[in-house]
Amino acid sequence: MGWLGREPERRFDPRTLDPRLRGVVSLAYPYAAPRPPMLDWRSEMRGRIAAYALGPDYHDVVLKKAHLIADALKAECPKSITRVYVDTGPVFEREWAAEARLGWFGRNTNLINRYGGSYFFLAEVFTDIEFEGPSEPYRDHCGSCRQCLDFCPTQALADGFKLEPRLCISYLTIEHRGPIPRELRSRLGNWIFGCDICQEVCPWNADATRAAVVNFELAPSLADVMRLDETAFGQRYGRTAIRRTKRLGLLRNATIALGNSGNPAAVPILAHALNNEPETLVRAHAAWALGRFDNVDARDALDAARAREPEPLVRVEIEDALSSTWG
């Protein structure tokens, strides 16, 4: 995500955006905790989607709410200046929220609130109105708990409140645009958009999880996802945060999940993708996924594709899949 490195001074000091700015109103807006259906995802070939991505795109929803706060400020101070951000500009959202005592930095690097857990979005209203900030920070309540570190499948979290984004499943399934590193693919499990593991295992989210309603949209059929063309993808996910990864990224992720399922019923789905999918990246990951199955149908599909595949990226994956399983 190279854009994060551009104009770092704007992230540190909002006054570089507008020298008249003097205050920050930090806002938290909750979303439903994840509670997927209790099922064997491998036998039913179900993916997983992070809870925040369900429903209307949070940018649109939270932005409207934040503008209500900005409008209220303007009503009190008609000449005031306001600028609203919801994950849409060069703003250190967590840092401002921590300064405003909305929570503390957990070991999973998320902001956590004792009463609201970590299932909330952040927004900011920058203004020329000056406010008196809290006198002391929100106390750390992680204690000796390390569950987020211990349960992270890719070991993206480390001691010292550190996150290696290039290992994070959320980064890999959403922001990363190329091939998923091979050594990480098996660790993605069935996550096809984002990841909730480090929040699901957090004790401060236990109450919200228990109260959550089971949501089948958190576990979509991987076969259905693989059937999405551009039009169907737009109709199903075009107004949600999932549009961020685009059809290309979602199907790339779905092929990995199918390969990780170990379910032989995934083989014809992957073979069809290898034969018919127009996107090179999806075909490449379908080839890898077929290599996870030690059966004749998977080998036949790879052999047939090897004879006609024109793209080097896919050909390499085909050769590696054949040699690693049957070499």
The catalytic residues are 87
Round to whole Å and give the CA distance between 104 and 151: 21
Q: At 121, is the secondary structure helix, strand, or coil?
A: strand
Residues 167/155, Cβ–Cβ less than 8 Å: yes
Which residues lie below 8 Å from residue 238, measured CB to CB, with a gap of 6+?
A: none
Which residues lie below 8 Å from residue 82, measured CB to CB, with a gap of 6+?
A: 70, 73, 74, 125, 126, 127
DSSP one-letter code for 143? T
Alpha helices in 45-165 (DSSP H): 58-76, 93-99, 147-151
Beta strands in the chain (DSSP E): 23-30, 48-49, 82-85, 104-105, 111-112, 120-127, 157-158, 162-163, 191-193
- DSSP string for residues in 181-201: PHHHHGGGTTEEE---HHHHT
Residues 214/36, Cβ–Cβ less than 8 Å: yes
Residues 266/225, Cβ–Cβ less than 8 Å: no
Residue 43 CB coordination number (10 Å): 11
CA distances from 152 to 33, 111, 147, 149 (A): 18, 17, 8, 6
